[in-house]
A and B are shown apart, each in its own frame.
Chain A
Amino acid sequence: MSGVHPTGDAYRDAVAAALTDGWRFTSLHAKSDHGGPAVRTLLSSPTGHHRLETVDASPGSVPTIVDLAPAAGWDEREAHDLYGVGFDGHEPLRPLVDHDGAFARFATPVRGADPYEVAVGPIHAGVIESGHFRFHVVGDLILHVDARLFYKHRGLERAAEGLTFADGLPVVTRACAGCWVTNAVAYAHACEELLGLTPTPGLARVRTILLELERVWNTLNDIAAVCAGVGLAAGGSRFAALVDDARRLNLRLTGHRFLFSSVSVGGSGLTIDESTAKEARDSLDGIRADSSRAWRELLFNASFMDRMPDIGIVDADTARSLGVVGPAARASGVAEDVRSTSPRLAYEGFETAALHRPAGDVQARLAQRALELLPCLDILDRLLTEPVRPVEAVATLAETPIGVGRVEGPRGATSCIVERDGDVVARVRLRTGSYANWPAVAHAAATNLLPDFPLINKSFELCYACVDR
């Protein structure tokens, strides 16, 4: 169903028609070298299908789609900064990745006598990744936030170009430790698609185990972060100890606390023997009991819970429009989870977890994390009943020039597109859940109080590293 469009108008019409038919904007990237400059838009259907709409960018600019899909805003700004493509109608096309030039080009102007700016970062007061926030404030009230990230831009996508598919994996996954498995599986799926490989049930199972192990520690970490966001040291410490328990389990199972090197293209070399799998299930039972107990304590802590409702609201329409993904989207009532449409992974019978009160505020995002932890532990309990042995993907399909992987990570849907030039990577684009959700953080903060920003920010708990790449 994908199309290559010779003119900008045809491309824009195709994207508009697809969006009307229920397809969602998923990713947009530019490429320069092989086959001439082009812009590609990835769309996905609620049933998990993908299509790419490609337009020739040799005239130097293409029509914007940001008015059709506001979620494409950052993608178009990035394509402009890194590949020099213009987007007609995207006004003002402010820099995103490019840090050269005056800050005024980046930020929204402040006018009037009362508003003032509060500048925060790139270095923050705690142990936090680097990024700059410019708050426009009247008194304590936030009018608007400009988030300027990409201080950590390492050019990883460029560095992967020209490498073999196997050698590209460590480069692409260096993007982020917190989402290592998610990014690795998305990249591996993309490479396997263009190589005509299909994961066997055994390979699907081992990757699902790794993805859920990553989700366990991240979910515990997210709850700890909200506790830290309001200064509840007892809750933060308890959940931090559970994060440590989960990482120790990762170390026992794979040799690495963040599961580094546990995923490869075309197969898996991981071995987990029967007794280790049994011990892992016991450890996960311990995490389930301890986290449930600690969560109950938080629920009955009135001064903690009173801080959560009605702040940092992202309603369902806004979440859809901005392309919010993951627990943050589900907390707004957008009941979508890529795990329910992932035939290359072992999520048979998966049901998206939905809150009774999907209010899209800090409380809903916190409660969504707690709600999703238990099914995640159930999946691991089911998949770890047998030992894990090395497995290979099988060649069943024709090879293709472009492959797509899309995986539900701890922060939401992550897509990876790999374009090939023979047997090497010609272009890779990694669009993580954090990348999708940062614009929503700025939206959620507006009209709230400045002292609530740390809590609102923690309720999303996004990575900077896998945005900046």
Chain B
Amino acid sequence: MLTLLRDLRRLRRTIGLPAAGHAGSLALRHVDCGSCNGCEHELTLVSGPTVDMARYGLGIVASPRHADVLLVTGPVTTRMRAALVTAYEAMPEPRRVAALGDCALGDRVLGSSSEIAGRVEDLLPVDLRIPGCPPTPEAIAAALLGLIDGTAGL
């Protein structure tokens, strides 16, 4: 166990993460609306030791009732539309919506049109757009930090 912890400490020093230094925090709720799982795989690494989003005050919470931001991936399938809207309606105000990845932005979506409900912004007001197929863990963290700092492009 000590070896594991020492390895993790060494890793931290090697990576040389930038200082935290952002005021405030954001509680995130992720909703997968039909992604290829690429955005989920990269979002998982945002919590990993190389980006370590917890030190910026970014954390994934279990319920939309605890969330500031709804982080939506995928092209929004017809089957996930109702669940997405229900999750949004369960969030307390003020709330923000982030569209994560090109599919969520409606860019280069593949599939049968009868199975796709439309872009996230056709269903909910989107505050933050994070492009990429999939966006890297660093890009996801940087975009979310922009939301904390109030510098995110709306």
Question: Which residues of A line the B interface, CB within 8 A?
Answer: 99, 122-123, 125-130, 150-156, 158-159, 170-171, 174-178, 221, 234-235, 237-238, 240-241, 243-244, 247, 257-258, 260, 290, 293-294, 296-297, 300-301, 463-466, 468
* Cα-based distance from A388 to B33 in the complex (angstroms): 38
Check if B33 sits within 8 Å of A130, measured CB to CB: yes
Check if B137 sits within 8 Å of A128, measured CB to CB: no
Known A-B contacts A177-B38, A257-B136; A234 and B4 likewise in contact (beta carbons under 8 Å) = yes
Residues 24-63 of chain B: 1 if any A CB is under 8 Å from the residue's CB, otherwise 0?
Answer: 0000001111111110111111011110000000001011
Known A-B contacts A154-B110, A258-B38, A297-B3; A237 and B49 likewise in contact (beta carbons under 8 Å) = yes
Q: Does B79 have its Cβ within 8 Å of any Cβ on chain A?
A: yes
7 residue pairs of the A-B complex, CB under 8 angstroms, read: A127-B40, A154-B116, A155-B116, A159-B110, A174-B111, A297-B3, A464-B37
Check if B11 sits within 8 Å of A241, measured CB to CB: yes
Check if B41 sits within 8 Å of A154, measured CB to CB: no
Check if A127 sits within 8 Å of B60, measured CB to CB: yes
Mostly, the A contact residues are loop
Which B residues are in CB contact (< 8 Å) with A159? 110-112
Which A residues are in CB contact (< 8 Å) with B137? 244
Q: Does B143 have its Cβ within 8 Å of any Cβ on chain A?
A: no
* Cα-based distance from A332 to B110 in the complex (angstroms): 37
* Cα-based distance from A122 to B4 in the complex (angstroms): 35
Check if A244 sits within 8 Å of B50, measured CB to CB: yes
Known A-B contacts A178-B37, A238-B4; A130 and B80 likewise in contact (beta carbons under 8 Å) = yes
Check if B83 sits within 8 Å of A151, measured CB to CB: yes
Q: Which of A99, A127, A154, A176 contacts B44 (CB 8 A)?
A: A127
Q: Which of B30, B37, B38, B77 contacts A154 (CB 8 A)?
A: B77
Check if A151 sits within 8 Å of B80, measured CB to CB: yes
Which B residues are in CB contact (< 8 Å) with A129? 32, 35, 37, 40
Which A residues are in CB contact (< 8 Å) with B75? 154
Check if A290 sits within 8 Å of B37, measured CB to CB: no
Which B residues are in CB contact (< 8 Å) with A464? 37
- CB closest chain-B residue, reference A161: B112
Check if B74 sits within 8 Å of A152, measured CB to CB: yes
Known A-B contacts A130-B80, A153-B77, A154-B75; A237 and B32 likewise in contact (beta carbons under 8 Å) = no
Report the minimal beta-carbon distance from B34 to chain A, rounded to whole angstroms. 4
Which A residues are in CB contact (< 8 Å) with B123? none
Q: Which of A174, A175, A293, A468 contacts B7 (CB 8 A)?
A: A293
* Cα-based distance from A372 to B18 in the complex (angstroms): 36
- CB closest chain-A residue, reference B50: A244
Question: Which residues of B line the A interface, CB within 8 A?
Answer: 1, 3-5, 7-8, 11, 30-38, 40-45, 47-50, 60, 62-63, 74-75, 77, 79-80, 83, 87, 110-112, 114-116, 133-134, 136-137
Which A residues are in CB contact (< 8 Å) with B1? 234, 297, 300-301
- CB closest chain-B residue, reference A297: B4
Report the minimal beta-carbon distance from A346 to chain B, rounded to whole angstroms. 27
* Cα-based distance from A288 to B67 in the complex (angstroms): 39
Check if B36 sits within 8 Å of A175, measured CB to CB: yes
Report the minimal beta-carbon distance from A225 to chain B, rounded to whole angstroms. 9
* Cα-based distance from A175 to B83 in the complex (angstroms): 21
Which B residues are in CB contact (< 8 Å) with A300? 1
Report the minimal beta-carbon distance from B101 to chain A, rounded to whole angstroms. 10
Check if B34 sits within 8 Å of A152, measured CB to CB: yes
Which A residues are in CB contact (< 8 Å) with B111? 154-156, 159, 171, 174
- CB closest chain-A residue, reference B30: A127
Which A residues are in CB contact (< 8 Å) with B30? 126-127
Check if A154 sits within 8 Å of B48, measured CB to CB: no
Check if A152 sits within 8 Å of B77, measured CB to CB: yes
Which B residues are in CB contact (< 8 Å) with A294? 4, 7
Q: Besides A128-B32, A468-B34, 14 other CB < 8 A contacts? A: A99-B79, A127-B43, A129-B35, A130-B83, A151-B83, A152-B32, A153-B79, A177-B41, A178-B37, A234-B4, A240-B49, A244-B48, A257-B136, A258-B38
Which A residues are in CB contact (< 8 Å) with B49? 237-238, 240-241
Check if B83 sits within 8 Å of A155, measured CB to CB: no
Check if A243 sits within 8 Å of B45, measured CB to CB: yes
Which B residues are in CB contact (< 8 Å) with A171? 110-111
Report the minimal beta-carbon distance from B48 to chain A, rounded to whole angstroms. 4
Check if B37 sits within 8 Å of A176, measured CB to CB: yes
Which A residues are in CB contact (< 8 Å) with B112? 154-156, 158-159
Check if A125 sits within 8 Å of B110, measured CB to CB: no
Which A residues are in CB contact (< 8 Å) with B37? 129, 176-178, 463-466
